[in-house]
Amino acid sequence: MSKPILFTGSGVALVTPMYPDGRINYGKLEELVDWHVEMGTDALIVCGTTGEAPTLKMDEHLEAIRVAVARAAGRIPVIAGTGSNDTDHCINSCREAKRLGADGLLLVTPYYNKTSQRGLVAHYTTVASATDLPLILYNVPSRTGLDIKPETMAQMYRDIDTVVGLKQASPDMAATAKLAAISEVPIYSGNDDLTVPVMALGGLGVITVLGNVAPAITRDICRLWLDGNTDASRALFLQWMDLAQGLFTDVNPIPVKEAMNRMGMEVGDCRLPLYTMEPAAADKLADLLRRHGLVK
């Protein structure tokens, strides 16, 4: 029996908007949800890396999920980031996200303490036994120091009923190709500058940072490709590649919050230890935004 697909196309990894004093601006979060619905974004991912999950207190984390789900009101899938390097904590977060109405969960690999490939299987199997929500696993070795090997991912997709996809935030395209060759797991690019290459291997879209500032463009890159208009998708992808890469000239989500603030979206700064961009780098990012007509 085929597994459900949470979404195809552009899933935006939402920033967590904040006031100048560092409190979460839940009203602004509601505005962002409405904007993405209007722009045709295909899914929203809250409290992930781009949402500064590592510095959100548990009550903030859950309130952000609650607010996003309530505001979306079924108009767009809301996928909650609930991964952890503590399996018990991950399970508790998953259960709370289900209670709050999340449509699915994004589960980053255990970080810092890490684990073996066998440990990954045990971790995700244990988490899956505690929730019936669909799970997208999240492979980002540059941040976690841990890589889900293609064979491991194929095994988990085959053996864990609720595993329905992989966010592949690894530049190792050979590994992505191998996974596509040995498994039918839906793959979402976790890097905006690899969206089209991943879809060329059969991927279903992207979990995007660029979509925070250019949601319609990111949506169109995916929809054009998935509809078979590959030349138009490729051209649009290459046209916006410079901004996609510019949003990673500092640690994510520092640049994307800088960009959104330059666009007048008032999402605030990041919490420490993430810090503001160097002025010269911020000005270069502003030049990219002007080049693409996102600021004057």
Active site includes 138? yes
CA 188 from centre of chain: 9
SS3 136: strand
Active site includes 157? no
Q: 28, 167, 188, 257: which one is catalytic?
A: 167
Q: 28, 98, 124, 138: which one is catalytic?
A: 138
d(CA 296, CA 286): 9
* Six token digits for residue 227: 């509809």
* Beta bridge partner(s), residue 136: 106, 165
Is-contact 85 49, C-beta < 8 A?
Answer: no
Is-contact 206 45, C-beta < 8 A?
Answer: no
For residue 44, the surrounding DSSP H or E stretch is strand 43-46
> Among 257, 238, 144, which residue's Cα sits nearest to residue 195?
238
Please list the alpha-helical segments (H only) found in the chain. 26-39, 58-72, 87-99, 117-128, 141-144, 150-159, 173-182, 195-200, 215-226, 230-239, 241-246, 254-262, 279-291
Q: What amino acid positions are annotated as catalytic residues?
A: 138, 167
